[in-house]
Amino acid sequence: MTTFRLCNPTQILFGTDQLKELESLVPAGTRVLVLYGGGSIKRNGVYDQVMAGLKQCSVVEFGGVEANPVYETILKAAELARASGTQLILAVGGGSVADAGKFLATIVPIEGVDPWDYLVQGGASTTTLPVGVVLTLPATGSESNPVSVISNKTKGLKLPFANEKARPQFAILDPDFMKSLDRRQLENGVVDAFTHVIEQYLTLPVNAPVQFGFSETLLKVLIEWGPKLIETGSAEARENVMWAANQALNGLIGAGVPQDWSTHMIGHAITALSDLDHARTLTLVMPALMRFKAADKLPMLVRYARNVWGITEPDEARAAEQAIAKTEAFFRQMGCPVRFSEIAPLKVAPEDIVHHLEEAGHTALGERQDIGIPQVREILELAA
């Protein structure tokens, strides 16, 4: 293992009716900005429960956060937060709203400069507003990690930002809130969580049996319960997927191990250029990338084949390919594409994806930082 520092102070309130604890989490008199997306929380009753929990607070609200949160939208929310003297950001929604909430909490104190440019150039927010999350769609683990992925429409970029101070103070995870989600949202959530685990697991075979063993458990949970969630929507499936998605990206399985994230960086470029669902950009790229890097990743691919998929093929290269094929089949079972040819019409040229990566400075990807622009072109060709 490499050396690491791990601290996750987010208080998780998990289970049915935990939103009733909101009143005890937010002191009376707090000036709260409630941030949400397209308004589904007003149709499914979550909004009313949130407002009841904040009845002793001064509340302003900002809706309209996009499925891939947009910088220009968050700037408008920042204006409201400053004007209202906001003391707490409460993000109510899925990972995109949580991302937007953390980024908003970061940029509200940044005035006099463009916050995007300031942060990209290495600046840091000296003070960050506290954040809380009421999660309605499990997928990203954003409710208890410090990362925000934000799209800048003006610049044509989608980039990740990390700020430990923005890690939510608390997150309420009620699996009942998933009942109103449509099939596509549930499919996306399962595969998004799955790819988060793979990015931290399928790298180098370091001495990390705890992290790798936990990763394998999370993958098997998602493989077993993801289809059950889609087909039955049972309470058990909702609970298991929601908790697995949180654990997939809260820092634990990635502590002390090399991490990849090349699939995500390429996927971000595709989303920035097409607005395709984030999860579906990942399923387009990941199998092709696994095949392209199969020789380098062979020890972990074999472990993945044996411990996650139960593959007993003695030839290691064949076992690795069978595991990749199983991964593709799982993505398809979740209704997600694994080839660009399966998306019509998705008019994103490989050179446009490459240009985005160059503009974003993402030209040395992977756990070995050996996936450059020529390698990206080959991966995209494999995914065609």
- List, for residues 113-170, the tens digit of each pLDDT value: 999 999 999 998 889 999 999 999 999 999 999 999 999 999 999 999 999 999 999 9
* pLDDT on residue 124: 87
Q: In what order do the strands lie in the sheet with 131-135?
A: 11-14, 170-173, 131-135, 88-93, 31-36, 58-62
Q: For 186-212, what is each residue's pLDDT tens digit?
A: 999 999 999 999 999 999 999 999 999
3-state secondary structure the chain: CCCCCCCCCCEEEECCCHHHHHHHHCCCCCEEEEEECCCHHHHCCHHHHHHHHCCCCEEEEECCCCCCCEHHHHHHHHHHHHHHCCCEEEEEECHHHHHHHHHHHHHCCCCCCCHHHHHHCCCCCCCCCCEEEEECCCCCCHHHCCEEEEEECCCCEEEEEECHHHCCCEEEECHHHHHHCCHHHHHHHHHHHHHHHHHHHCCCCCCCHHHHHHHHHHHHHHHHHHHHHHHHCCHHHHHHHHHHHHHHCCCCCCCCCCCCCHHHHHHHHHHHHHCCCHHHHHHHHHHHHHHHCCCCCHHHHHHHHHHCCCCCCCCHHHHHHHHHHHHHHHHHHCCCCCCHHHCCCCCCCHHHHHHHHHHHCCCCECCCCCECHHHHHHHHHHCC
Per-residue pLDDT at 345 exceeds 80: no
Is the pLDDT reported for residue 380 higher than 80? yes
Cβ within 8 Å of residue 79, ≥6 positions away:
none
**How do residues 305-329 score in pLDDT, each as one tens digit?**
999 999 999 999 999 999 999 999 9
Structure token pair of residue 246:
């949180």
pLDDT of res. 125: 82
Inter-axis angle of helices 183-201 and 316-333, to 10 degrees?
A: 160
Output the pLDDT for position 39.
Answer: 86
Distances (CA, A) of 301 to 85, 290, 323, 384: 51, 9, 7, 22
When pLDDT is averaged across residues 224-251 and rounded to a whole number, the result is 97
CA count, 13 A, side-chain hemisphere, 14: 16
Phi and psi at residue 48, to the nearest 5°: -60, -40
Nearest to 131 by CA among 89, 94, 185: 89
Question: Is the pLDDT confidence value at 344 over 90?
Answer: no
pTM of the predicted protein model: 0.96
Separation between Cα atoms, residue 269 and residue 352, nearest integer Å:
8
Mean pLDDT score of the chain, rounded to an integer? Answer: 96
Cβ atoms of 92 and 35 closer than 8 Å: yes
CA–CA gap between residue 192 and residue 147 (Å, rounded)? 15
Over pLDDT 70: what percentage of the chain? 100
At residue 346, the pLDDT reads: 80
H, E, C per residue of 163-229: CHHHCCCEEEECHHHHHHCCHHHHHHHHHHHHHHHHHHHCCCCCCCHHHHHHHHHHHHHHHHHHHHH
65-123 pLDDT, tens digit each? 999 999 999 999 999 999 999 999 999 999 999 999 999 999 999 999 999 999 999 99
Are the CB atoms for 178 and 237 separated by under 8 Å?
A: no
- Residue at 289: amino acid letter: L
Encode pLDDT of 256-278 as tens digits: 999 999 999 999 999 999 989 99
Please choose, from the candidates 8, 53, 62, the residue with its C-alpha nearest in 3D space to the C-alpha of residue 33.
Answer: 62
* Cβ–Cβ < 8 Å for 247, 218: yes
pLDDT reading at 382 higher than 90: yes
Indicate the length of the chain as a whole number.
384
Half-sphere exposure of 314 (CA within 13 A, CB side): 0
Supply the pLDDT for residue 347.
81
pLDDT band at 48 (very low <50, low <70, confident <90, very high): very high
Dig out the tokens for 67 from the structure. Answer: 């499925």
Find out whether 263 and 338 touch, Cβ atoms under 8 Å. no
pLDDT of residue 277: 94
Matching residue, tokens 């308004």: 39
